[in-house]
Amino acid sequence: MAGLNSGLRRVAEVQQKHAKKLLVVVLILTLFMAAGLPNLKLQTDFSKEMPQDLPITKLNDRVADTFSGQDTMIVLLTLDDDADAATALRDIRDQSVIEYLTVLEDSLKSESDVVDVVSPATYLRGVPITSNEMLKEIITTTPAGAFVSDDYETMLMFVSADVGAADEKIIALDSLIRDKVESAPKPPGVDVMVTGTPQIMVTLFDLLGQDALNTIIYASIIILILLFIIQKSIVRGIVVFTPLVIGLIWAYGTLGWLDIRISIATAGLGAIILGLGVEYGAFMLNRYREERATKTQLESLQIAVPSIGRAIMGSGVTTIVGFLALTFSVMPMLQNLGFSLAIGIFYSLLAAIFVQPLIIVFREGFMEKYNKKKLEKYKTKVNRRRK
């Protein structure tokens, strides 16, 4: 304990003596970590978040490999209740709907990523249909019937595609299907929707990215306001918040460099790190200010850094341990969550102990110079007036 104390005391001395140089080092390190940010990827494939060595996971992988990892997208044709009563269809088993499906089916089948398209039109090709009544009868007696809902309001088309878990491919195919759906001549009073597991994954992909960013923004705004209120100063609030942001950049940068994907479990990582890490910096600044009221800058740092450093290390280590315990889970998603959070808290600790004092010293030096300049300007102004 004494060794830690004297070590942190020495750190405080170096921080006070070489604040600017060390800030440059921090800046370079932060830039290096920030360079890992573009490598960050989102993990929307739920199956990758589950234990990979389970027999069921392996079986499903074999099935996916055998059947080319086909994913089924669903094109849903449904009667539009709000459509003009005079022209709108009242039964989806209509020749115009089958014609639409045939055109759509042919158009989709011409795409290389589309493995197969199945709809009632598949079973009715080459069958001479002269009336809707005849169509209804044929639909009832062939497998096409399975594609029509019991209330005859909805009809289905399955589009099998070889997109796997590649998000870009899913997005591209989704927009392709939507384009085709729009370009084919749609029967009056019929709504066409596209859904299915791949589309849900695309939506998840979008939401995950948005949420990962938005939750950080929301947490930042509220924590900043809280800091402004508690510190009774905007500048001091920013002094506490800056190392937190640096810690966050380091954490996300590390994830990027280590190729750990942001998943459903880790998308809220930033907000949690901000919420838990803010106390470290707040304690450090408060203690420094308490000491600074009666002591020199160096003396204040020599007291604040070791005493608060030890306290927040104790507190941070327990938090990190709680998070690291998650790495003992069998679920990859929890392992990543535990590791990512532990990294985040570790960096918040480092930033509070090693970076925040530098910002405090730099800010004090800056304010001193600024005040000096202001005073000199004021003096010159007064002297001019006197002359």
Partner 1 sequence: MKNPLHIYSHFVANHTLIMLAIVVVITIIMTIGSGMVGTKYMEERDIIPENLPVIQAYDLFANSFGSDTTLMIVIELDPEHIGSDEVRDVRDPRVIKYLNILTEAVETSKQVESAASAASLLKSFNNGVLPQSQREIIELSTNPLMDQYIGSKYEMTVLRMRLIDVENTDETTQIVNDVQDVIDQIEAPPGLSVNVGGELAVGPIVTDLVGPDIQRILSVSFALIIIISFLVFFSFRYGIPPLAVIFIGIVWATGYIGFLGIDLSAQTSGTISMIIGIGIDFGIQITNRFREEIAKLAPEAAMELTMNNVFVPMFTTTLAALIGFRAMSWGQLTFFGEFADIMTYGVTACFLVAITLVPVVLVQGEKIWAKIKRTPQARKASMLIKRNKEVKK
Residues 9-48 that bind partner 1 (CB under 8 A): 44, 46-47
Tokens of 196: 């299915």
Q: What's at 317, amino acid-wise? A: V
Alpha carbon 175 to its chain's center:
22
**At closest approach, how far in Å is the CB of 291 from partner 1?**
17
Q: How wide is the angle at C-alpha 281 spanned by C-alphas 278 and 287, nearest 5°?
A: 135
The dihedrals phi and psi of 295, each to the nearest 5 degrees, come to -125, 170
Output the CA–CA distances (angstroms, integers) from residue 103 to 110, 134, 187, 194, 238, in the order listed.
Answer: 11, 20, 12, 16, 61
Of 61 and 259, CB closest to partner 1: 61
Does the footprint of partner 1 cover residue 53 (CB under 8 A)?
A: no
DSSP track, 233-268: -HHHHHHHHHHHHHHHHHHHHHHHHTTPPB-TTTTT
**At closest approach, how far in Å is the CB of 26 from partner 1?**
23
Residues 181-210 that bind partner 1 (CB under 8 A): 193-197, 199-204, 207-208, 210
**At closest approach, how far in Å is the CB of 158 from partner 1?**
9
Q: How far apart are the first and last CA of the chain?
A: 63
Of 18 and 310, CB closest to partner 1: 310
Tokens of 296: 């020199």
For residue 110, the SS3 value is coil
Binding track, positions 135-174, relative to partner 1; x by CB under 8 A:
--------x--x--xxx-xx-x---x--------------
Residues 78-137 that bind partner 1 (CB under 8 A): 78, 115-116, 118, 122
**At closest approach, how far in Å is the CB of 116 from partner 1?**
6
Does the footprint of partner 1 cover residue 282 (CB under 8 A)?
A: yes
Binding segment (CB under 8 A) for partner 1, from list 9-17, 83-91, 182-190, 267-275: 267-275
Identified binder of partner 1 from the candidate list 172, 275, 299, 363, rule CB under 8 A:
275
Of 128 and 328, CB closest to partner 1: 328
Residue 331 Rama label (left phi>0; alpha psi -120 to 50; beta): beta
Residues 211-240 that bind partner 1 (CB under 8 A): 211, 214-216, 218-219, 222-223, 226, 230
Binding track, positions 241-260, relative to partner 1; x by CB under 8 A:
--------------------
Tell me the C-alpha distance between 349 and 243, whole Å.
Answer: 9
Which positions ≥6 away from 68 have C-beta within 8 Å? 115, 162
Residue 158 Rama label (left phi>0; alpha psi -120 to 50; beta): beta
Residues 328-387 that bind partner 1 (CB under 8 A): 328-331, 333-334, 337-338, 341
Of 79 and 98, CB closest to partner 1: 79
Of 65 and 84, CB closest to partner 1: 65
Q: Contact at 8 Å (CB) between 9 and 302? A: yes
Binding segment (CB under 8 A) for partner 1, from list 14-22, 248-256, 271-279, 294-302: 271-279
Tell me the C-alpha distance between 333 and 322, whole Å.
Answer: 16
**At closest approach, how far in Å is the CB of 68 from partner 1?**
9
Identified binder of partner 1 from the candidate list 14, 34, 50, 171, rule CB under 8 A:
50
